[in-house]
A and B are shown apart, each in its own frame.
Chain A
Amino acid sequence: MIEPPAAEPLRARPGTPGADLGVGLFVVAIGLLTLYAAWAIPDSPIYAQVGATAVPILVGAALVLLGIALCVSASRGGWSGGLEEEMAAPPTNWRALGLLGAGLAVQLALIDWLGFVIAATIQYVLVCAAFGSRKPLRDLAIGIVVTLGAFLGFSRLLGVNIGAGVLEGIL
């Protein structure tokens, strides 16, 4: 259940317009990246009314304009400070985000080298810890069962190739 909001009026967090400006600039950057990539598409010798570059240029330009509009909105005080959900939200949990990020990084670094089962088990333990689990050994046991079950189910029963790895080679 969601608690009813406190009696005193919620105030926008200071510094939110700056974060909103960052969002606007990020959208402009994506638009510019799209335009750059569109510009890099070579001209096609095939005759066409609308070539391969027209729509990418259109989308890139639209993103730049939308990003600028977001920046303008941010400079007028921003929008995310007024969101009910954000005003009631707890502060950033760096520990949880860090452990989750580590879980993702481990998966990316190890999956081609040690295989899905080992990489995903380590990821499982790290993500459990990120969400406040205090029993890493129990998580390790559950993680091994879950990833092994998923691997065997996908690769043996369905024939989907989950790649090669240390454990996968033995099984």
Chain B
Amino acid sequence: MSTIEQQESDETEAETETETAVESPGDRRRREKAERAVEDEARREAEEAAHEFDEAVELKVFRYDPEVQGKEEPRFDDFTVPFHKGMTVLDALIYSRDHYDSSLTFRHSCRQAVCGSDALFINGRQRLACKTQIADLDGDTIRVEPLPHQEVVKDLVVDMEHFYEQMHAVEPYFDPDELPDDEMEEQRQSRENREKIKMSTRCIWCGACMSSCNIAAGDNEYLGPAAINKAYRFAMDEREGENRKQERLRIVEQEHGVWRCQTQFSCTEVCPKDIPLTEHIQELKRESVKNNLKFW
């Protein structure tokens, strides 16, 4: 059963239960627990307000949970976090979760800007929480929200499915026209060619670029900067060969491909891996023009 089917069937079950208005013991306990959770939180907030730190930062965090009473309406929670040098926004989120509210939900894993799971909207800009030093942010309050233009699952977690689909749409795998006869023989690649694709291979699939892009926000089918960059990574790899390159160009030339890009540079500005995304998109535009001229 797919996730969506599963959700639907869960919803149906939920409906039937409301109709008959019989609360199962499990539901009752869970409801009571939710109520207690709300009370606990209020108490924690009070404790927190009473607490004074030498130096602290105020975190204003977006909260939303579709199924927990008191959290279905999006709101912001404030957390006061003691500050020390070197601390990142991710550290502050973890502190808030472990000390104030264990239900605070966000993705994270590597803490070193390689897993791409904690791209968030911090003080109005897409950033990796683990790579953002609190000391580098202006103002006394840090505002943390989920990535814009993505569906929010809960608190700071967004649904990445659409992003993954766009990545998969460009056939994101190496597919050379031919391989060396001897299977222990490497394919040769010049240093220059490796240098050319180097930046494009650094993408960690964080989704920051897609979230910052106005075009992607308005056109759900637009491949988006990350996927186009992925296409660039292979189209420019000399080991794949000319035939495959033509096919790759055909994919990015389609209606919702490179030509949608209006060179606003927002993707390039937010990319935590400094990938020159706009430049890569422009280069694919040029390649595809050259390509089409050849056919005319």
Do A and B actually bind? Answer: no
Q: Which residues of B contact A (CB under 8 A)?
A: none
Q: Which residues of A contact B (CB under 8 A)?
A: none
